[in-house]
A and B are shown apart, each in its own frame.
Chain A
Amino acid sequence: MTESPRHGTSLLAAVWRRAPGRAGLIALAVVVAAAVASPAFLPSPIEQPDIEHASQPPSAAHPLGTDQLSRDVLSRVANGGRVSLAVAAIAVTLSITIGALVGLGAGYWGGAADAVAMRIVDAALAIPRLFLLLLLLAMWEAIPPAAFVLVVGVTGWFGTSRLVRAEVLRLRESDYVAAAHGLGARAGRVMFRHLLPNALGPLLVAATLGVGEVILLEAGLSFLGLGLRPPRPSWGGMIFEGRATLVTAPWATMFPAIAITVTVLAVNLIGDALRDALDPHR
């Protein structure tokens, strides 16, 4: 008993139909392709010690210039994309999963557990996510990437849980849920086969927009020195390293920033188009 186009391909088509969504999909595809293909086509940044060519502006040999350590900015941006995108994808998946589970449980069982859970969620939402991350990460000397992603993911589920809970509450009293119960379905089955599918739409939108949020957060954390350390730079890390040479080699900072902006913009456009497509008032 779903209410709007739900299948993956038809949603994709719906996004494609809208001009902003199409632009977003294309831009994201380019970014992802560049990131995925980067090791095959571009030389690894570590293998390029070439002092003569440090801090060179964009040229034929180095389309995006070189940074102060004479590393090719294009390769670094492409590589950085792999890191940033991977972190975002994994962290968001984690957030969505936890949020969906908590939201389902709280909405379905209600009562004291729900009240307590939502109170905690409210409190957690009051603390800006950046500060949560700062508190958790500040003490670490050198953060292992896995731990970093875990921490980012674990701080991002609160909003999602409210979303899912709202959907569950809306549908809990509906006839077909009552019918399912009448047929003897257990709680788990009801939750996953009947309630969850209806929340998938908003979840998908939240996930898409969440990717943008994580990319920005991760960049910010790197800027504060808390991100993934070199030689495994993400885009934020590149900006962090490029600060000192902002005047002499601005492209080392600019291009990662542009990469971030384009990716986040693309993801937001897709998310907006998705939200539009799922809106019953279409």
Chain B
Amino acid sequence: MSRWLIRRAGEAVLTLGVAVCLLFVLMRVAPGDPLSRLGDDRPVSPREVATLRARYGIDQPMLTQFGQFAGAAVRGDLGTSIEYSRPVARLIAERLPATLLLGATVLLLNFTLGLWLGVRQAVRQGRLADRALEFVSLTAYAIPSFALALVLAWLFATHWRVLPPGGMHDVLLSPNARFAARATDLLRHLLLPAFTLSLVSVAATMRYQRAAMIDALALPFVQTARAKGITERRAVWHHAWRNALFPVVTLFGLWLPILVTGSVFVEQVFAWPGLGSLAAVAVASRDYPLLMGTALLVSTLVIAGGLLADVLYAVLDPRVRHA
């Protein structure tokens, strides 16, 4: 098992390395000049531009640039943001917790509500509730996340005024307030963005789990289990479900990029101070170093997530462990 783990981790690092190369190539291939927008709000002399080029290393040959880039990235230096004039790494570090909180909440909803609904629907296949839920989840898949975010924000914040329109904290709340008050405040702010993001992913998880569960319930060993005289509940959850988890775990690896993509829009609409909104700002202000840094971190998260999913799979399936 540990040998397999080391090999898998090595592959993940290799993939990350290739991803870094890819990102770098993209950066250089992309048309447009990162510095072209500098002259927008104040006059910039050619000398200043040249200095900046030197500082950002844009005037060096490709390979040297890559070396600098990769070397710096490994050391944790992701360059300096043009918009904020601060190290990109610091900006990312500041924003990461908010995104992680949002992501963890969505994950939690996914792997509780999504799985449970999926199993329920598989057992009650074909009945009205199953079909209704199926339709709702298919529609949820299809709604653009930013549109949903806009509608929900308008509905709950502007029209009904029950939830805050954005941000992570109430500005008026004193930092010395009791934990309960601060926690409630955080939850109120978290609710809408988490719900918006969850809608799509819970729908996806539910569908996958349902399909996997239907397949699992049809497997012969479930009949063997029933023939032993165990309860139906045990046959469903202990035997069938354990085998229906595999596709869902694989889904976890695939779903992370989707979550990250959605968070760019949702965080922006709800002004949630995470990586997604940071990326949106980077796009709006053509802040290339910031955009690159965010892309790099996001890719790392996705690869780490995939590795985690594989490990989880191996924990669940002894056949993989002994291969």
Contact = CB atoms under 8 A, between A and B. Distances in A.
In the complex, are there CB atoms of A and B closer than 8 Å? yes
B241 interface: no
Secondary structure class of chain A's binding surface, majority of residues: helix
A20 B143 CA distance: 18
Interface in B126-158: 138-139, 141-147, 150-151, 154, 158
Given A131-B298, A139-B30, A220-B265, A126 B303 contact: yes
B210 interface: no
Nearest to B135: A20
B32 A141 contact: yes
Nearest to B305: A126
A122 B261 contact: no
A265 B136 CA distance: 11
A261 B26 contact: no
Contacts of A129: 257, 261
Contacts of A212: 142
Contact of A128 (B16, B138, B257): B257
A257 B154 CA distance: 15
Given A127-B295, A261-B139, A136 B146 contact: no
Interface residues of B, number: 53
Interface in B262-305: 264-265, 268, 279-280, 282-284, 286, 288, 291-292, 294-295, 298-299, 302-303
A123 B18 contact: yes
B260 interface: yes
A224 B139 contact: no
Contact of B138 (A124, A225, A226, A269): A269
B308 interface: no
Contacts of A130: 260-261, 264
A247 B27 contact: no
Interface in B230-251: none
Contacts of A131: 260-261, 279, 294-295, 298-299
Contact of A268 (B142, B264, B265): B142
Interface string A104-135: 00000000000000011011111111111011
B266 to A, nearest CB: 11
Interface in B25-42: 26-27, 29-34, 36
A143 to B, nearest CB: 9
Contacts of B303: 126
Nearest to B254: A125
B30 A135 contact: yes
A269 B139 CA distance: 10
Nearest to A128: B257
B181 interface: no
A207 interface: no
B302 A260 contact: no
Interface in B97-115: none
Contact of B291 (A134, A262, A264, A269): A134
Closest 5 A-B residue pairs measured CB to CB? A139-B32, A123-B18, A257-B147, A264-B142, A265-B142
Interface of A: 20, 119-120, 122-132, 134-141, 212, 216, 219-220, 223-226, 236, 239, 243, 246-247, 250, 253-254, 257, 260-265, 268-269
8 contacts: A123-B21, A126-B299, A127-B299, A132-B26, A136-B26, A139-B33, A223-B265, A246-B150
Interface of B: 14-16, 18-19, 21-23, 26-27, 29-34, 36, 138-139, 141-147, 150-151, 154, 158, 257-258, 260-261, 264-265, 268, 279-280, 282-284, 286, 288, 291-292, 294-295, 298-299, 302-303, 306
